[in-house]
Amino acid sequence: MGEKEPIESFDTNQLPSNNPMEDKRAEARCTLSGGLLFGVFDGHGGPRCAEIVSNRLLSYIAASLLPHSTLNEYLASSDGKKGPMDFIEHYNENDYRISEREASVYAKSFKTYVVQLASRKQPFTSVEDALKFSFLKLDNDLSREVLEEEDPVLKARALGAALSGSVGCVALVDGADLHIAAVGDCGAVLGVTSGHKSWAAKSLTAQHTAQNGQEVMRVLREHPGEEKESLIRDGRLLGRLQPLRAFGDFRYDSSRIKVITFHLLKWLTKVCLPPLKDAHTPPYLTARPDVTYHRLRPHDKFLVIASDGLWEMASPLEVVRLIGNHLSSRVFLGPFSVPHKNERVRRVESKVQRSRRGDVEVETTDVNSATHLIRTILGSGAGKGFTTVNLSLMLSLPQDIVRRFRDDITITVVFFNTSYLTKRSSSK
């Protein structure tokens, strides 16, 4: 990144459980506004929806943050040759490769989206509104593309996204302003220093599951007249779906699924779309995210965004402490330089001792904090302490049983630039 930027660096890693892996991730810079975007997406019912959302959502967000004048300049100069990638610069090589024909479909939808943004009578009053609009618009485009596509191959691929689903969490860092937009059960936690060798965890997301009482109450409010036991059964929406918000999963919206079914009978059998007999007041699912704002301060050191495969195995505080200790260990294990060649041995020894005060109990050779987090948690064997035996067992589980022990895990750790945040804080 750079000294004059809010982010110093970021680490990311993934460990599959499903085959193919259903987790996806994306990191990018907004080329026209300068903000930085980090996203983690967890698919269900297959990887298709998560693939498409991870590939497209960041562009939708980047466009929503721009003023009308910039959007109109883009539309006037695009001449049909520019696309969504002109709004962002990806930092990662996305493992989802789209064909030229798919890219053309997505570019057409994106241009329509930009036209809608530019034609709004009033700009968004807040970043929160812009984020919510981009999430919902992409979700709507996923179903519209199924109906409008005439090519049978592309229609089938679009249908794969419409009938599968994905949750996701996106972080937008713009200067010292941090916005988190989340739908489903991916989570974001801030690592905060709270004294010498002490860490605190600040959760910035709430899981949209039946374990969240407020989320259950939202579902009940939106479906008056239906019994809670009918809406939420066995901890799932209508007894079927665990997340209460998600992209895709259009069978939970009867209006959309009826139209999709009518247009696709030549590709599907009715068995593919069993009716939801207990659905009385659809739609039951939304891709509208909860948005959290946080003003970054010098004691905010890093942000962890991860799929629920991590949060099922460790608490936010455990995750923050592991990353914090690893951060201290990386500093300690780095090269130690002596300022002057004639420095006295006693003074050098004193400096080494002072540097050890931030050391951790177990030193690590992992450079990547996300890798260290995965390795340590898997090797800790239900809190009994890290051993290489535990780690080897968890990493060598056969494909047919590994899902019983853990889910796909995707982690992105974003490290903030303390010098930058200190200057911004002092200038307020």
Average pLDDT along the chain? 85
Phi, psi of 66 (to 5 degrees): -95, 150
The DSSP annotation for 105-165 comes to: HHHHHHHHHHHHHHT-SS--SSHHHHHHHHHHHHHHHHHHHHHH--SHHHHHHHHHHHHSE
pLDDT for residue 214 = 96
Contact in structure between 107 and 83 (CB atoms under 8 Å): yes
Write the CB contacts of 172 (distance below 8 Å, at least 6 apart in sequence): 35, 36, 37, 61, 127, 131, 178, 179, 180, 181
From the number of C-beta atoms within 10 Å of its C-beta (0-12, 13-18, 19+), residue 87 rates as buried
Secondary-structure class of domain 7-208+243-249+285-426 per CATH: alpha beta
> Which pair of tokens denotes residue 390?
């535990």
> Which pair of tokens denotes residue 416?
């903030």
Q: Measuring CA to CA, how many Å separate 71 from each of 85, 86, 182, 269? A: 14, 12, 26, 43
> Is the pLDDT at 359 greater than 50, yes or no?
no
**229 pLDDT band (50/70/90 cuts)?**
confident
Please report, for the chain, the start and end positions of each structural domain, with discontinuous segments joined by +: 7-208+243-249+285-426
Q: Measuring CA to CA, how many Å separate 267 from each of 45, 257, 262, 411? A: 18, 14, 11, 37
Q: Which of 156-160, 317-321, 394-398 has the lowest mean pLDDT?
A: 156-160
* Per-residue pLDDT tens over the stretch 100-158: 888 899 999 999 999 999 999 888 999 999 999 999 999 999 988 988 888 888 888 88
For Cα atoms 420, 424, 428, give the angle at the middle one, nearest 5 degrees.
Answer: 170
> Is the pLDDT at 413 greater than 80, yes or no?
yes
pLDDT for residue 319 = 95
Write the CB contacts of 39 (distance below 8 Å, at least 6 apart in sequence): 25, 26, 27, 54, 57, 58, 168, 169, 170, 171, 305
User: % helix / strand / coil in the chain, to the nearest 5?
Assistant: 40, 20, 40
From the number of C-beta atoms within 10 Å of its C-beta (0-12, 13-18, 19+), residue 125 rates as exposed
Dihedral (Cα; 89, 90, 91, 92), 10-degree rounding: -160
Q: Which residue has the higher pLDDT, 79 or 245?
A: 245
> Which pair of tokens denotes residue 308?
């629920």
Sign of the torsion formed by the C-alpha atoms of 251, 184, 88 and 20: negative
> Is the pLDDT at 307 greater than 80, yes or no?
yes
pLDDT for residue 328 = 80
Q: What does DSSP assign to residue 336?
A: P
Contact in structure between 412 and 370 (CB atoms under 8 Å): yes
> Is the pLDDT at 165 greater than 50, yes or no?
yes
Strands 187-193 and 300-306: antiparallel
Amino acid code (one letter) for 125: T
pLDDT for residue 1 = 64
Q: Measuring CA to CA, how many Å separate 198 from each of 7, 129, 223, 289, 358? A: 22, 36, 45, 32, 10
Enter the pTM of the model. 0.88
**188 pLDDT band (50/70/90 cuts)?**
very high
Amino acid code (one letter) for 92: N
End-to-end C-alpha distance for the chain, whole angstroms: 24
> 197-200 — which CB contacts under 8 Å span 24+ positions?
197/328, 197/357, 197/358, 199/317, 199/320, 199/321, 199/324, 200/317, 200/320
CA 274 – CA 281 distance, rounded (Å): 17
For Cα atoms 219, 241, 148, give the angle at the middle one, nearest 5 degrees.
Answer: 90
> Is the pLDDT at 358 greater than 50, yes or no?
no
Q: Which of 2-11, 99-108, 251-260, 373-382 has the lowest mean pLDDT?
A: 251-260
pLDDT for residue 341 = 56
Write the CB contacts of 318 (distance below 8 Å, at least 6 apart in sequence): 377
